Chains A and B, each alone.
Chain A
């Protein structure tokens, strides 16, 4: 792939300063890991030279775990313990999951996220995903020859808060420091945009194994600004397989296939789908456990016909995103196709007809997301080259709101708001002497709470008794650059405060994660200590480098005394790093953080002032509006 001449040869940063960072595409069907090496983004292959890692995890009866190609055979032989497409369950309850009836798993419908009972015990989708991530982390560390500083992990743009949080938890469980969650279509846009020096309005049509995303972006002088995004978090290539599978059942008149036969036929259905991309028909011959011989031929037209409603289903989010962005199809300069499922000719045809232009298929639809994530990871790690200047402005996909009287939703932050964003809303008590108030945070576009996703519930207590309507309760929503929400509530007259990290109804609690980490899949306690020590040292080094870099540039912002104090704290961090106590290192780093707060604030003010230099508010007038 010809990609990105980021810097002139010889201009790259010195090797010892290069922090190892990767981009991970944690896909429904396949996962990948990529990095930027010698200024070029590359996908990292396994020892056999394969880029893709099938997102399959097999819990073996003997206690071992196979992931990827090794796990593949077990799909047919032991489907109950061989988990495929686990991404569909991330941050989801059992009732959210479609096609449950045809799945061979033993679901546990617990409070919150669905779980799976395997031969090795009950597993949450977060744990299953962590197995996949761990293999990718090991692959990257082996290939790059060192410990990772961090990773950018991609998620469907249309993932809600619970699904994002679950993904971040999985990374944490796999021992990966997450720099950022990045939306998949945005990652693709970075890879495409930087490679082609594209300018103007572009769309990304991303049909993956289990999710559909559509984003509209404005690319202008190195800024990637997402204008609108939409999608369907439960629609993807798997559904096309499912249709082909149902067609097999109907045509061969099969009523109640066994779990194994069902899984085998689904695999055949997928093979037929893939075969039809390059051929006019696909034939399947197989013998079921009932001795029934299935011999069928599926034509491309029949397949297109049985799945045309799925293709049509993708166009509704496309129209919505364009409407939100205030654009017509003809305003879009190019449509980048991403995800293996966009290889299907009838999908390409439908998109082409809608936009009146041939979609862009010149990037490998399986790899482009990982490549974009790697480029972002490299920049976030601080490996950015002097002349590499680009910026990403992303949005939240779904509106965030609070439940009000009568089960209605009051929207606090509308969808497609650029992140990070904060918004506050004031409420009041409705009873005399009311001392507590309950809040219910929801996400979605519908008017009724019951049609939206419940994210969290919390209570503000200790409101001083007042007459109804006198208390002023300010609820603040803050969405960070990962698209994750935190909410706080404060009674303004008394200052009583309540704060929640939105650990969603569908998430794992911190205790659960701590337990999972401690029960240690692959490390004994000693290893945990060693790992903690090494992580703290990396963290400390990072902190020292950051402060030193700041001092080199901006020491003028400090007086001699302040500067000496900071240097002394730095010395303390170095001393603790030489020791073996990871907690002492952590404390020293925290001290350094506290002592540099004021310095950091001055630096930030200075850079804002520089950016604003020469601009005057009073030159702004009203006309020539943006729309």
Chain B
């Protein structure tokens, strides 16, 4: 997807509907503008974030990613997950912010690699089932990233 086009279109539409354009107008116009701006923000948020975008694509194509129930993962991936988790727990317990920061960065690199994999499944192979599998792994990593984030916030506060 051409993110520049997405961004440009988003900004164009938001320019047309944003509440700031209607602040001096009637109550109706202000309310409608807020509803529209809300929808546009939601659409942009979904299309901009690779994982949400992929989930949306799967949904449009009628593929159930089974994110809640289907936790079957390759053993290798699960091992890796456990190692990540141990590293995070250790860093958290020893209040090692630099280590957490480093883990956060490495995790983001892994996520970027997964995004490329997703793009391959969806755009090139058009293989929805494979994409759903990759997406499930990606969501695992994303959850882990959030946990590191929470740990950092807790240590910093």
- Report which A residues bind B (CB closer than 8 A): 19, 149, 179-180, 220-221, 223, 316-317, 319-320, 323, 326, 376, 379-382, 389, 391-393, 417-422, 445-447, 478, 480-481, 542-543, 546-547, 550, 592-593, 596-597, 600-601, 603-604, 607-608, 610-612, 615, 620-627
Contacts and interface: CB of A to CB of B under 8 A. Distances in A.
Chain A at the B interface: SS class: mixed
Contacts, number: 157
A420 B38 contact: yes
A621 B3 CA distance: 10
Given A445-B150, A600-B28, A622 B34 contact: no
Interface of B: 1-3, 6, 9, 11-20, 23-29, 32-34, 36-38, 41-42, 44-45, 47-50, 53-54, 57, 101, 104, 108, 111-112, 115, 118-119, 122-123, 149-150, 152-154, 156-157
Contacts of A610: 16
Contacts of A392: 18, 20
Contacts of B50: 622, 625-627
A624 B18 CA distance: 27
Contact of A608 (B17, B53, B57): B17
A622 B126 CA distance: 11
A34 B37 CA distance: 29
A604 B29 contact: yes
Contact of B152 (A320, A603, A627): A320
Contact of A481 (B3, B12, B34): B34
B29 A600 contact: yes
A604 B45 contact: no
A550 B22 CA distance: 12
A600 B17 CA distance: 12
B123 A623 contact: yes
Given A316-B156, A326-B108, A622 B1 contact: yes
A323 B26 contact: no
B29 A542 contact: no
Contacts of B111: 627
Contacts of A376: 20
B1 A604 contact: no
Contacts of B34: 420, 480-481
A224 B68 CA distance: 37
Nearest to A19: B24
B3 A626 contact: yes
Given A422-B38, A593-B27, A623-B1, A607 B123 contact: no
26 contacts: A19-B24, A223-B11, A316-B156, A319-B156, A323-B149, A379-B20, A380-B20, A418-B41, A420-B19, A420-B34, A445-B150, A446-B154, A480-B34, A481-B20, A600-B26, A600-B32, A604-B33, A604-B36, A607-B17, A608-B17, A611-B16, A621-B1, A621-B123, A625-B3, A625-B50, A625-B112
Q: Which 6 A-B pairs have the closest CB atoms?
A: A382-B24, A623-B119, A380-B23, A316-B156, A625-B50, A600-B28
A25 B137 CA distance: 48
B58 to A, nearest CB: 11
Contacts of B150: 445, 447
B150 to A, nearest CB: 7
B65 to A, nearest CB: 15
Contacts of B12: 611
B13 A622 contact: no
A626 B28 contact: no
B19 A611 contact: no
Contacts of A622: 1, 50, 53-54, 57, 118-119, 122-123
